[in-house]
Amino acid sequence: MHTRRFTVVLGIAVLLIAATLAWRVVADRREGRFEAAAAGWEAGLGSDSLLLARLIFGEANSEPYIGQVAVASVILNRVGAPGFPDSIAGVVFQPDAFESVSNGQIWASQPSSTNLAAATAALNGWDPTYGALFFWNPYKAVNPWIWTRQIITQIGSRVFAR
């Protein structure tokens, strides 16, 4: 019984931390301070694998496993690319880079075990996108600029490009 109570209390604490961080991201975005949100995450509010899993949940939860790994790979590819922030949190919280961050979807629920496994696979080096820096759903309205990128592959309902 005590273990269950502890689990419930711990779950509530995690939700409160996530809600506080989500509020901070929204507030920071309004004030143009995404860097502060990324720095807060990097300062110990979460791990890279959890942040990747949350982004996978928000951006590609309905995609097959390989598509979820591919989305995480794009984040990791951006970390090493010119013109992008040099950390996972910096890439994830870059203003208007990901719809699920802008609309708060990454905080809507805990990532699944599949989301976490996909994040881990990408962190361990699996990149089914062959170095892609961008992804989008070609069946949704997107900025026409994205179609100027060199398409590498399509996985599930996402196109991956450089």
Residue 23 lies in a domain: no
Q: Is 106 left (phi over 0), alpha (psi -120 to 50) or beta?
A: alpha
The residues with which 18 forms a beta bridge, in sequence order, are: none
- 95 vs 113, 139, 156, CA distance in Å? 28, 23, 26
Residue 15 lies in a domain: no
The domain that contains 105 carries what CATH number? 1.10.10.2520
pTM of the predicted model as reported, rounded to 2 decimal places: 0.74
End-to-end CA distance of the chain: 53
Residue 24 lies in a domain: no
Asked if residue 74 lies in contact with residue 131, where contact means CB atoms within 8 angstroms, the answer is no
Residue 68 lies in a domain: yes
- Residue by residue, DSSP assigns 4-36 as HHHHHHHHHHHHHHHHHHHHHHHHHHHTT-HHH
Q: Enumerate helices (H) and strands (E) in the chain, giving the number of each.
A: 7, 3
Full residue range of the structural domain in which residue 85 is found? 47-161
- The pLDDT tens digits for 8-19 are 554 554 554 555
- The pLDDT tens digits for 21-61 are 555 555 555 445 455 454 444 445 568 999 999 999 999 99
Asked if residue 122 lies in contact with residue 99, where contact means CB atoms within 8 angstroms, the answer is no
Residue 27 lies in a domain: no
Q: Please choose, from the candidates 140, 44, 64, 134, the residue with its C-alpha nearest in 3D space to the C-alpha of residue 97.
A: 134
Cα torsion 149, 141, 114, 44: sign: positive
Name, in order, each residue with C-beta under 8 angstroms of 1's C-beta and a sequence gap of 6 or more: none
How many domains does the chain fold into?
1
Rounded CA-CA distance 50/152 in Å is 27
Rounded CA-CA distance 102/50 in Å is 18
Residue 74 lies in a domain: yes
Residue 19 lies in a domain: no
Residue 20 lies in a domain: no
Q: What's the confidence (pLDDT) of residue 18? A: 52
- The pLDDT tens digits for 59-116 are 999 999 999 999 999 999 999 899 999 999 999 999 989 999 999 999 998 999 999 9
Q: What's the confidence (pLDDT) of residue 47? A: 85
